[in-house]
A and B are shown apart, each in its own frame.
Chain A
Amino acid sequence: MTPTDPPPLSLRDLQLQLMRMIVAPTGVAEAIAEEPALAANGLGAIVRGDDRLSARERVEIYANAYFYRLLDVLKEDYPLTFTALGSDRFHNLITSYLLEFPPTEPSIFFAGRHLADFLRTYPAAVERPWLPELAGFERAMLEAFHAADATPLDASALRSTPPAEWPGWSMRLAPAVRLLMGDWAVHETAGPNPAVILPDPPRSTPAAIAIWRRDGDVLFRGLEPPEAAGLARAAGAQGARFEEICAAVAAKIANPGDAVESINRMLARWLADGLLIELDR
């Protein structure tokens, strides 16, 4: 090394500099201008160009690959959000999103996990206040698809349990079940998984949605308040005793005389759909 050579860049600095250029939302050229060391010595200090492609163009290949790979994955993960916004607005959304929530996990599956949260403060969502709930619905479907397997309670388990033990029976939602409570009927804008439909914006109405998985398919439906209250009671690792779930349902039923029949009907459906698992008795 001659005295005039710049000191060799550490591998750490090299990786951090290159990474900053690759993820820069305004492009590699502007990112170079913002790096004091590179602005002084040029990008040639770390990457070589040639007559085919300059050093900047070579870094741009990586910058484009980074953004478009993630854009493609997020388009696939959020087909309704993409349809609702259109190509250009979705592109801009993802540009901003990746700045605030860059991928940190080994699997690209996690890249979009904060999108619904991000949308809560995103300008394009001001005219479309239902967007965060729509994205949350799509995320929940994806999570349900990859959630842990479990053996659900079914009708035979019920039959083999003496009725006297039912009140104290502890149960909770199966790991693949997601309950969403919101202000928009976003599920009404979706076709059966995985088809996409979004003819009109979702209706503005208090909405509860159950999402679950059966035989590898992710399914969903809207819930009336009594059923939503019952399932919400069974959410969480602790779950609830059956009598607590019944009480939560009954509290939302206007005519107390209807409670028993409603609960029976709901329970039959929960068991058929595999929404509940048993906790240790």
Chain B
Amino acid sequence: MERAEFPFLGYGAGLRRPHYAEVAGGRPRMDWFEIVSENFMVAGGPALKTLERVRANYPVVMHGVSLSIGSTDPLDRDYLRQLAELARRIEPAWISDHLCWTGAAGRNLHDLMPMPFTEETVAYTAGRLRTAQDILGRRIAIENVSSYLTYTASSMAEWEFVAAVADAADCAILLDINNIYVNAFNHRFDPYAYVDAIPRERVVQFHLAGHSDYGTYLLDSHDHPICDGVWELFDYAVGRFGEASTLIEWDDRIPPFATLAAAADESRSRARAVLSRRVRSRAEGATR
């Protein structure tokens, strides 16, 4: 995998409707933006115009929710055509989607359903990822999803599944730190062991987000500030993977843009702190 296909973009935020005017008109300070691709698969109108204006001033990544790479329906060629068309129009830094299925039998649940973690589903999903990458003519990044159930059929850990699919598909990984944290609680595993098992060279991007605590489970609601536990796991991930393009996701109860900018700044200063500690400890090791 060529890292040059996924250049370091800095510390960004998801572009959401309440901030369209502010971002398109005011050029606020932000390294880059991520869009939900499907929100711009329309014929025309103000949303696309906003996107074009944002793109003129910032790098943009297209993050999809309906590739449904793990579905047993045929790959949706028409969807891939629309995705490629949007990519031609806005020239994103890259395209990403999720390691999940979103529907079957022609229906869309509009949700990111987890896969059973088995050797068969690794091969199946990776094969479809390769096809999707061929059709799009580019390597894509695939994101680990949050989940609330475990399939009886699963025979490997989630992190083994993610790593195996990415290796077999030769694709990049968009590592969602909050999703690891949420799943670690929901399925009782060690989130640090998860991070340790993800292949270093494939991680090109981090997601950070807030979740809701329902006592018996954590819900990946993207409607809260990022909690301490997720920040600490992010620090650890930066220690393992180095600096990677980082993005704050906020999809519900969306705060003022300044709150997103502050969270992006915090992710930058935390990452820099981790990296400078790493450099210092190496230097100290050398003088000893």
Contact = CB atoms under 8 A, between A and B. Distances in A.
Given A11-B124, A52-B216, A66 B110 contact: yes
Contacts of A23: 107, 109
A266 B69 CA distance: 52
B116 A14 contact: yes
Given A11-B72, A12-B72, A53-B217, A102 B107 contact: yes
A22 interface: yes
Contacts of B110: 66, 69-70, 103, 108, 111
A216 B46 contact: yes
A48 B149 CA distance: 7
Contacts of A104: 106-108
Interface stretch (A145-153, A195-203, A221-229): A145-153
A48 B150 contact: yes
A147 B46 CA distance: 10
B43 A65 contact: no
A57 B48 CA distance: 40
Given A18-B113, A59-B149, A175-B44, A53 B216 contact: yes
Nearest to A12: B72
Given A61-B217, A145-B45, A8 B109 contact: no
A148 B43 contact: yes
Interface stretch (B7-15, B97-105, B157-165): B97-105
B116 A19 contact: no
B150 A15 contact: no
B149 A103 contact: no
Interface stretch (A39-47, A114-122, A235-243, A268-276): A39-47
A243 B46 CA distance: 33
A147 B124 contact: no
A62 B217 CA distance: 13
Interface in B85-117: 101, 103-111, 113, 116
B66 interface: yes
B44 A47 contact: no
A8 B216 contact: no
Interface in A4-46: 8-12, 14-16, 18-19, 22-23, 44-46
B133 interface: no
Given A62-B111, A105-B108, A106-B82, A148 B44 contact: yes
A61 B150 CA distance: 13
Contacts of A58: 148-150
B153 interface: yes
Given A62-B113, A146-B44, A149-B44, A47 B149 contact: yes
A107 interface: yes
B42 interface: yes
Contacts of A102: 107-108
Nearest to A103: B108
Nearest to A47: B149
B152 interface: yes
A181 B109 CA distance: 34
A115 B7 CA distance: 44
B213 to A, nearest CB: 13
A109 B41 CA distance: 9
A147 B43 contact: yes
Given A15-B72, A15-B101, A46 B151 contact: yes
Contacts of B120: 11
A146 B153 contact: no
B216 A106 contact: no
Contacts of A187: none
A176 interface: yes
A100 to B, nearest CB: 12
B104 A8 contact: no
Contact of B153 (A8, A57, A65, A175): A8
A148 B55 CA distance: 19
Interface string A52-87: 110101110110011001100000000000000000
A66 B149 contact: no
Contacts of B76: 106
Contacts of A106: 38, 41, 66, 76, 79, 82, 108
Contact of B45 (A10, A46, A59, A216): A216
A172 interface: no
Given A14-B153, A45-B152, A53-B216, A19 B105 contact: yes
A74 B148 CA distance: 25
Nearest to A109: B42
7 contacts: A11-B121, A16-B105, A46-B151, A48-B150, A103-B103, A104-B106, A107-B39
The list of the 6 closest CB pairs from A to B, nearest first, reads A106-B66, A216-B46, A149-B44, A146-B42, A148-B43, A58-B149
Given A19-B104, A145-B45, 19 more contacts: A14-B151, A15-B72, A15-B101, A15-B104, A19-B105, A44-B152, A46-B152, A48-B152, A55-B149, A58-B149, A61-B217, A66-B110, A102-B107, A106-B66, A106-B108, A109-B38, A149-B43, A175-B43, A176-B44
Interface of A: 8-12, 14-16, 18-19, 22-23, 44-48, 50, 52-53, 55, 57-59, 61-62, 65-66, 69-70, 102-109, 111, 145-150, 175-176, 213, 216
